[in-house]
Every structure is written in C-alpha cells, then in structure tokens.
C-alpha cells in the first residue's frame, strides 16, 4: 500500500512511501489487541483503594448485647460488620493490577491496530518538520492543512520535539507521541494517525525486529 508524503502545508511533495505489508497489512488479531489494551489500562491503575476491617477500627470492644434471645444476629462490639458504621468484611486492599504480556503478543497487537488504521485509510504521512517556537496557532494551521482537524488525531514523532509537543498540548482532539511511547491503546483511541517519515521508518524497524 502506497501513501503520499505531504508537507505541513498539506501539499503533496511528489514522494510516496510504501507501508510494510507485514505491519500495516496483516489480518488484525482482536484478542491480542484486547490483552494489550487491558494491560495498558491495568498498569495505569493506582490500586490504592482501602477500607478498614474490624481489627483496624477504633471503638469499644464491649459486647453490646447478650449472645441469644435478642431476636437478631449475634454481634460483638460496636465495630461489628452487621452494624451501621461498623467494619467491612473482606474490603478492598492496596494491590498491584499490572500483569506480564509477552513481547510478541504486544507486537502483534500494535501491528493489528496499525492494520486497522490502514484499512480505514486513517494514516497520513508527513515529511519531518519542526516549529521555530511553541505556537498552538502553527499546529492548528498544520492539522487544518492536512484535513485532520475534525477528527481526534495522534501525531507520532521519531524523537522528542519540545516545540511540537507544547504546540499541541492545549488542543482537545490532538496529541503528540514519541515512537517509544506509541502503544495499541493510543493508536486505536485516535481516529486518524499522522506519522512523520522518520517515525514510519522507526516503526518498520522496531516491529520487524520484534518478529525475530
């Protein structure tokens, strides 16, 4: 599949790039995508939830009523879980939700996400660029020229670019991501994927290497 290379003015540079069929043209594996997105969401969870159990609460340990004959449940002190304001039984405790996922499964998930974008014609390739200074106006002008301003877009760069990142920071439907941080969730979350030429080369190199 060939894609035209545009400049930031939205003009065709006359060059084309060929999307690697082993990355952008595979049959998407939905289960691999599910696992990778699940891991991403799980790893972002703080897991700091906590409720007090009976032994952790302060309160009198005096038995409130006799063992039998009261017509209700047997209860001990005022921290009993059967009382309003009492402790919680088997409440949540801090835990780590992260889990391991094999590298080849993650690579398959990213390829599947990129293949979905290629099938939907939602990939735009732009030549490498930079802004002289961080200006949101310049970034808005660029995405208008590329005709992607009406959709949620993800711009992927091959390396960190502070001016470009700061220019997009205040825009609701635009985000900038370095190639090292690109993942399945972010690719699928965007309606259109904008790749610089160098980022496309890096994706090709990285995902081809992970096949071995």
Supply the CATH number for residue 137's domain: 3.40.1370.10
pLDDT at 212 over 60: no
pLDDT of residue 210: 65
Same domain, 102 and 37: yes
State the pLDDT confidence band at 72, using cuts at 50, 70 and 90: confident
pLDDT of residue 64: 84
154 DSSP β-pair partners = 175, 193
Residues 117-124 have a mean pLDDT of: 93
pLDDT of residue 178: 92
Say what angle helices 30-43 and 103-119 make with each other, to 10 degrees: 110
Domain interval for residue 171? 2-46+98-209
For the chain, the domain total comes to: 2
Same domain, 113 and 57: no
Instruction: Note the pLDDT tens digit of each residue in 49-68.
Output: 998 888 888 888 888 888 88
């Amino acid at each position: 599949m060939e894609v035209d290379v545009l400049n930031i003015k939205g003009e065709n540079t006359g060059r084309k790039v060929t999307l690697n069929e082993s990355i952008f043209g595979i049959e998407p594996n939905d289960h691999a995508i599910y696992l990778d997105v699940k891991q991403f969401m799980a790893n972002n969870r703080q897991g700091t939830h906590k409720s007090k159990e009976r032994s952790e609460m302060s309160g009198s340990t005096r038995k409130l009523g006799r063992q039998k004959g009261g017509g209700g449940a047997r209860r001990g002190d005022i921290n009993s879980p059967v009382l309003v304001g009492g402790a919680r039984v088997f409440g949540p405790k801090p835990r780590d939700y992260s889990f391991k996922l094999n590298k080849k499964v993650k690579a398959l998930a990213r390829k599947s996400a990129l293949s979905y974008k290629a099938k939907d014609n939602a990939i735009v390739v732009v030549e490498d660029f930079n802004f002289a200074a961080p200006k949101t106006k310049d970034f808005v002008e660029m995405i208008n020229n590329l005709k992607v301003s009406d959709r949620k877009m993800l711009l992927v760069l091959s390396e960190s670019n502070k001016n470009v990142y700061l220019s997009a920071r205040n825009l609701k439907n635009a985000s900038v991501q370095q190639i090292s941080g690109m993942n399945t969730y972010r690719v699928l979350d965007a309606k259109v994927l904008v790749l610089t030429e160098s980022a496309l080369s890096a994706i090709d190199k990285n995902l081809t290497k992970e096949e071995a």
